[in-house]
Amino acid sequence: MLTVQDLVKVYPGPVAALRGVSLEIGDGMFGLLGPNGAGKTTLMKIVAGVLEATAGSVDLDGHDVLDHPDYVWERLGYLPQEFGFYPHLSGREMLEHLLRLKGVVAPEGMRSLCDALLEEVNLLEEGSRKVKSYSGGMRQRLGIAQALAGDPRLIIVDEPTAGLDPEERNRFYRLLARLAENRIVLLSTHIVEDVSVLCPRFAIIHQGRLVEETTPAEARAAVAGLVFEGRVEPERVDALERGGQVVRSVVSEGRHHVRLYVPNGRPPEGFESAEPTLEDAYLVTIRRASGRLAVEDPEGVGVPVTPA
């Protein structure tokens, strides 16, 4: 069990990156979802024992991480958001270098261990290729390979799918899901799909605060019947924005498609009920927390809707 209690981090300035975050995380995949700059990476670094907290506590299986970071270091696999590789090395050489830096012991030989880890992430056949020839997804899998060394109790992955194409992302999803079967995997992301696919439970963090801890199903259910969609003229989108109802607005085939969150369930004329998505639920939570979404239905918006 990973327990985070009343965690606070204030940088010089002062800048409050974390404002009293508390979480209890058991085995399996747990997501930290929030916009860039929400405090997710700061939380990850404190849990990993590489950044001091201003206040609060972090325990891993009953052991104090803040006072004794060496306990978590011995049981941690960490894939940071920015991971530097030497492009002239092969994948196998790079992995061996990283394992030696980590002080990993290989009773059956480092080559044997590297090959086993490369096979685990489906990179064994590409192990002799130069890292500079790897795709983004292959580099992320190489990063996961070094994180797996030593069979860690806790794995932390920070924005692992950013910049991956759909095929690489799906391959990475399968790998992460497999890793979470017998350990704690903490996934930090701003991509809603990552959480929807991988995480039975997740927390939404905004401006250093924990604003929601829930499941994908519970989050969608919370906005069921309150999300509506319609097509409106471009000049009318601003009126809806000012009314504080817009969840998201996209342009498709030259037409503005607007999704609204309407607390009383009575949308403007022409809008129809829409099946809520996790992205809807997330955006409603974030916009409500930032004061950009109406908590009560505004009156008199009167926005003409383009006929379907």
> What pLDDT, in 10s, does the model give residues 150-203?
889 999 998 888 778 888 888 888 888 888 888 999 999 999 999 999 999 999
Q: In the structure encoding, which two tokens stand for residue 147, read together?
A: 């994180």
Count Cβ atoms below 10 Å from residue 229 Cβ, excluding itself.
Answer: 18
Q: Please state the pTM of the whole predicted model.
A: 0.86
Question: Taking a C-beta distance cutoff of 8 angstroms, is the pair 98, 142 a contact?
Answer: no
- What residues are paired with 36 via a beta bridge? none
The pLDDT of residue 254 is 66
For residues 19 and 92, membership in a common domain is answered with yes
The pLDDT of residue 288 is 86
In three-state secondary structure terms, 144 is helix
Cα gap 102→94, rounded to integer Å: 12
For residues 40 and 131, membership in a common domain is answered with yes
**End of a domain among 213, 237, 259?**
213
Q: In the structure encoding, which two tokens stand for residue 148, read together?
A: 């797996």
The pLDDT of residue 72 is 94
Query: Structurally, how many domains does the chain consist of?
Result: 2
Question: Taking a C-beta distance cutoff of 8 angstroms, is the pair 229, 266 a contact?
Answer: no
Q: Which residues contact 239 (CB under 8 A, 6 or more apart)?
A: 301, 302, 303
Closest CA to 295 of 244, 224, 241: 244
What torsion do the CA atoms of 236, 241, 247, 251 make, to the nearest 10 degrees? 40
For residues 178 and 263, membership in a common domain is answered with no
Question: Taking a C-beta distance cutoff of 8 angstroms, is the pair 44, 216 a contact?
Answer: no
For residues 230 and 289, membership in a common domain is answered with yes
CATH number reported for the structural domain that contains residue 86 in this entry: 3.40.50.300
Q: What are phi and psi of 192, to 5 degrees?
A: -60, -35
The pLDDT of residue 13 is 85
The pLDDT of residue 258 is 87
**What are the residue ranges in the chain where pLDDT is below 70?**
253-254, 293-308
The pLDDT of residue 290 is 80
The pLDDT of residue 181 is 83
Domain housing 288: 220-306
Interior angle at CA 286, CA 158 and CA 292, nearest 5? 145
Distance of CA 200 to the CA centre of its chain: 13
What are the start-end ranges of the E strands in 34-177?
Answer: 55-60, 63-64, 76-79, 154-158
The pLDDT of residue 304 is 39
The pLDDT of residue 46 is 96
Q: H or E element: which one contains 13?
A: none
DSSP state of 92: H
H helices of 121-165, in order, are 136-148
For residues 89 and 118, membership in a common domain is answered with yes
For residues 45 and 180, membership in a common domain is answered with yes
For residues 121 and 16, membership in a common domain is answered with yes
For residues 79 and 33, membership in a common domain is answered with yes
Closest CA to 237 of 211, 254, 258: 258
For residues 161 and 231, membership in a common domain is answered with no
Q: H or E element: which one contains 253?
A: none
Cα gap 190→213, rounded to integer Å: 15
Q: In the structure encoding, which two tokens stand for residue 281, read together?
A: 């639920």
For residues 209 and 60, membership in a common domain is answered with yes
**End of a domain among 181, 213, 245?**
213
**End of a domain among 168, 185, 213?**
213
Closest CA to 260 of 238, 280, 277: 280
For residues 208 and 225, membership in a common domain is answered with no
Q: How many CA atoms lie within 13 A of 209 on its CB side?
A: 7
